[in-house]
Amino acid sequence: MPEPHGFAYETHPNGTVHITHHHRPATILNGDRAARFLTEVTAGDPQLVMARWTGDYKRGNERTARSHPRNRG
């Protein structure tokens, strides 16, 4: 699975965090979620953390999931 790239985030004075992917809005975090995100993004790989928070981490594993015993017809 390729490493996530192209993510960026901006913090705003009102406490919100805007996450973008290739300069397009991906998500906006407010309040407690924004604070948890900022703690996590400084502790780990920022690209991977932003991919997980935006839900983009799921890309690329659909083929693997198709062959899982639970998903076989």
Report the predicted TM-score, pTM, of the whole model to 2 decimal places.
0.72
pLDDT score for 59: 55
> Could you say which DSSP state residue 72 is in?
-
Q: Tell me the chain's radius of gyration from C-alpha atoms.
A: 15
pLDDT tens per residue, range 32-65: 999 999 999 999 889 989 988 988 665 555 556 6
Q: Which of 40, 39, 62, 58 is nearest to 49 (CA)?
A: 40
pLDDT tens per residue, range 4-23: 788 999 999 999 999 999 99
